[in-house]
Amino acid sequence: MDVIVPPEWEHLFIRDTHRSIVKIPDPILRSKAKPVSRVTERHRLLVDNMTNIMKKASGVGIAAPQVGVAERVIIVSPGNKAIALINPVITRSEGEQVGEEGCLSIPGLYGDVKRAFLVEVEAVDKKGNTVTYEMEGFAARVVQHEIDHLDGVMFVDKADPATLHWRDPDAADSDAE
Please give the positions annotated as active site: 146
For the chain, percent helix, then strand, then coil, each to nearest 5?
A: 30, 30, 40
Cβ at position 38, least distance to Zn ion in Å: 26
Q: How far apart are CA 55 and CA 76, in angstroms?
A: 11
Taking alpha carbons only, the member of 170, 92, 87 closest to residue 126 is 87
Number of residues that bind Zn ion (CB under 5 A): 2
The whole-angstrom separation of Cα 159 and Cα 157 is 6
- Among 83, 103, 119, 135, the residue binding Zn ion under the rule CB under 5 A is 103
What mask, x for binding Zn ion by CB under 5 A, covers residues 23 to 62?
----------------------------------------
Binding of Zn ion at residue 177 (CB under 5 A)? yes
Instruction: Give Cα 67 to chain centroid, integer Å.
Output: 11
**Toward Zn ion, which CB reaches closer, 76 or 116?**
76
Shortest CB 53 distance to Zn ion, Å: 13
Q: Tell me the closest approach of the beta carbon of residue 113 to Zn ion, in angstroms.
A: 11
What one-letter code names the amino acid at 33? A
Cβ closest to Zn ion, residue 175 vs residue 177: 177
Which residue, 125, 138, 136, 38, is CA-closest to 88?
A: 125
Minimum gap (Å) between residue 32 Cβ and Zn ion? 16
Strands in the chain per DSSP E: 61-63, 73-76, 83-94, 97-102, 109-115, 118-124, 130-136, 165-166
Q: Which stretch binds Zn ion (CB under 5 A): 23-31, 33-41, 82-90, 98-106?
A: 98-106
Q: Give the binding site for Zn ion (CB under 5 A).
A: 103, 177
